[in-house]
């Protein structure tokens, strides 16, 4: 008898799970969630996002809501970027670090008005780090009186991305996404249901994300999907999400970010604010900034279409100078691209290197990140 | 060629046997499962191969897959135009999408290969 199978925890399912299955989504285990990696062609799902609309079920990402006095000051002590005193309506990308400066997660901190206009704080964290972050915040709460509520299972999150995305959602939402500035959001009404609408995303395209109660997810998804289809857009899976974020030069936890990487190495200066504030990990970031031996994050463009994957060695004159953190074939640039951590004195733009892909040498050049910028 | 005229490995390669020469490719099922093929790495003619061992790899956007030889022998011909034109694998996996030709040193492995019906059955069961 296959006892292992019986002992295995069943995968979490998002409110849109059945839709993905009905659309022949290839469902895979992603951080304990059954998620569609692709529906048909990854390249088509990539291009539709760059050219029209790609819709992504990102309900697996953790959604944590906070209540209590001075939530912003509490969170500010745990984030590398200032979130205290941020105006209501704004969203901040930040890293969270431990005392040693190791990156626990990269997160979005939201300060938004609720349906009655009252401000509240929430945070979106990576699915793979959700429990860790819940525990980490819990261990820091002390007698602050802050309460954390994990609403990941009771809500859904839909990313609508691409040049036609905001127009499509505007037809269904009380608030037009275009009326929101980049990285801001509000509570509004989408398809007759209360929802959080934000002008955010992880594809390098303009677009928005919708957070709603689980019971409204299918209606909102189907209505947006119908409009998306009418403009040659559609649903895109996690594989396209990965090729899109890589072209946009955005880091992914477990690849460019981990507990063994210090924020000083990541080339995410906008997400690290040191001046006149104190937060967990600050002194470790300060020391890392002075350490000129730590590998730094760079972009690499390879000759040809063969992708370098995580852990491939980066070499100059047969000497290892770094390691690939992610890589893929880029559907937009029609070549192979990678991100890597390399010795800082070999990190200059234009540096020519060799990447060892399963024993074969492939020439590559260090280039500016992002690889792709929308016009 | 029709798939009914071919033999299949469990690892999704096909073989067309004509005397002691086997023409090798990958099945339509494999091409459809891989999707978005972007790269193929092939050996040179003259390379010795063994049944069940890797002779090259094919890469899709998402993953890299080894190509396994279904038979023992030596590669006598390589479809060198294929890596630059991987669409051929979608269009004609059992014809122009052939990958290598092997002069077999023995036919021991041939009898372990599946006919098309048995191969299809294996694919259905794995779903």
Please indicate, yes or no, whether residues A53 and A77 belong to a single structural domain of this protein. no
Q: Is B59 on the interface with A (CB under 8 A)?
A: yes
Note which residues in 94-113 of chain B have CB less than 8 A from chain A.
none
Q: At A375, is the pLDDT very low, low, confident or very high (cuts 50, 70, 90)?
A: confident
Closest CA to A107 of A75, A84, A139, A138: A75
Residues of A in contact with B57 (CB under 8 A): 358
| Number of domains observed in the structure of chain B | 1
Q: What is the pTM of this model?
A: 0.94
Tokens read off for A322: 């770094």
The CATH number that applies at residue A356 is 2.40.30.110
- What torsion do the CA atoms of A49, A52, A57, A58 make, to the nearest 10 degrees? 60
Q: Which domain holds residue A323?
A: 295-367
Q: B54 touching A, CB under 8 A?
A: no
Q: Is residue A78 part of a domain?
A: yes
Nearest CA in chain B to A244: B61
What is the least distance, in Å, from the CA of B38 to any CA of chain A? 6
3-state percent helix, strand, coil for chain A, nearest multiple of 5: 25, 35, 40
Is the domain of A166 the same as that of A44?
yes
Q: How many domains does chain A have?
A: 3
Whether the ω angle into residue B21 lies within 30 degrees of 0, i.e. cis, is no
C-alpha R_g of chain A: 21
Residue B118 lies in a domain: no
CB of A280 closer than 8 Å to CB of A77 = yes
CATH code, domain carrying A213:
3.30.1360.120
A-chain CB neighbours of B62 within 8 Å are 37-38, 42, 239
Give the chain A residue nearest B61 (alpha carbons).
A329
Nearest to A305 among B39, B57, B64 (CB): B39
**CATH classification at residue B48:** 2.40.50.100
**Test mutation, A21, A305, A335, A337, chain B, max B CBs within 10 A:** A305
Q: Does a structural domain hold residue B116?
A: no
ipTM of the modeled complex: 0.86
Chain A CB contacts of B60 below 8 Å: 42
Q: Which pLDDT value is given to residue A240?
A: 98
Mean pLDDT within A118-127: 98
Strands of the B54-60 sheet, one edge to the other: B37-41, B54-60, B64-68
- Which residue among A38, A40, A306 sits closest to B39, beta carbon to beta carbon? A306
pLDDT on residue B41: 93
Nearest residue in A to B41, CA atom: A306
User: pLDDT for A229-280, tens place per residue?
Assistant: 999 999 999 999 999 999 999 999 999 999 999 999 999 999 999 999 999 9
Q: How many CB pairs under 8 A join A and B?
A: 39
- Is B114 among the domain residues? no
Work out the pLDDT band at A4, boundaries 50, 70, 90. Answer: low
The answer to whether residues A83 and A134 belong to one domain is: yes
Q: Which residue has the higher pLDDT, A1 or A49?
A: A49
Residue A256 placed within a domain: no
Q: Which residues of A touch B39 (CB under 8 A)?
A: 304-307, 329
């Amino acid at each position: 008898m296959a006892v292992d199978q019986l002992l295995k925890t069943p995968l979490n399912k998002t409110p849109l799970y059945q839709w993905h299955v009905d659309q022949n989504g290839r469902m895979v285990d992603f951080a304990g969630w059954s998620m569609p990696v692709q529906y048909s062609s990854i390249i088509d799902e990539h291009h539709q996002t760059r050219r029209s609309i790609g819709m992504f079920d990102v309900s697996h990402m953790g959604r944590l809501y906070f209540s209590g006095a001075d939530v912003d000051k509490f969170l500010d002590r745990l984030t590398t970027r200032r979130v205290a005193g941020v105006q209501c309506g704004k969203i901040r990308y930040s890293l969270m670090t431990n005392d040693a400066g190791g990156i626990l997660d990269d997160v979005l901190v939201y300060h938004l008005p609720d349906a009655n206009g009252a401000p509240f704080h929430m945070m979106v964290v990576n699915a793979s780090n959700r429990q860790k972050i819940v525990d980490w915040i819990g261990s820091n709460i002390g007698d602050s009186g802050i309460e954390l509520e994990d609403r990941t299972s009771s809500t859904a999150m839909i990313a609508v991305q691409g040049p036609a995305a905001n127009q499509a959602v505007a037809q269904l939402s009380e608030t037009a996404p275009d009326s929101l500035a980049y990285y801001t959001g509000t509570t509004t009404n989408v398809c007759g249901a209360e929802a959080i609408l934000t002008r955010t995303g992880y594809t390098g395209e303009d677009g928005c994300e919708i957070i709603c109660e689980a019971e409204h997810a299918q209606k909102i998804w189907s209505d947006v999907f119908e409009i998306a289809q009418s403009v040659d857009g559609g649903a895109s899976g996690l594989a396209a999400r990965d090729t899109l974020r890589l072209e946009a030069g955005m880091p992914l936890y477990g690849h460019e970010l981990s507990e063994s990487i210090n924020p000083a190495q990541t080339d995410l200066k906008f997400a690290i604010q040191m001046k006149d504030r104190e937060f967990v990990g600050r002194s470790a970031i300060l020391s890392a900034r002075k350490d000129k031996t730590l590998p730094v994050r760079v972009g690499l463009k390879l000759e040809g279409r063969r992708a370098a994957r995580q852990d491939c060695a980066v070499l100059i004159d047969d000497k290892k100078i770094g390691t690939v953190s992610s890589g893929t074939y880029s559907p937009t640039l029609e070549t192979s691209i990678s991100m890597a951590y390399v010795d800082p004195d070999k990190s200059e733009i234009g540096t020519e290197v060799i990447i060892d892909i399963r024993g074969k040498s492939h020439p590559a050049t260090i280039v500016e990140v992002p690889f792709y910028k929308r016009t | 060629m029709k798939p009914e005229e071919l033999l299949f490995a469990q690892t999704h390669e096909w073989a067309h046997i004509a005397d002691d020469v086997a023409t090798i490719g990958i099945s339509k099922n494999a091409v459809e499962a891989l999707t978005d093929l972007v790269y193929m790495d092939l050996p040179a003619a003259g390379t010795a191969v063994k049944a069940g061992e890797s002779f090259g790899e094919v890469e899709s956007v998402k993953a890299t897959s080894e190509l396994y030889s279904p038979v023992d022998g030596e590669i006598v011909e390589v479809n060198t135009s294929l890596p630059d034109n991987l669409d051929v694998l979608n269009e004609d996996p059992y014809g122009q999408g052939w990958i290598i030709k092997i002069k077999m040193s023995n036919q021991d492995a041939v009898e372990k290969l599946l006919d098309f019906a048995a191969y299809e059955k294996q694919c259905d069961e794995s779903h």
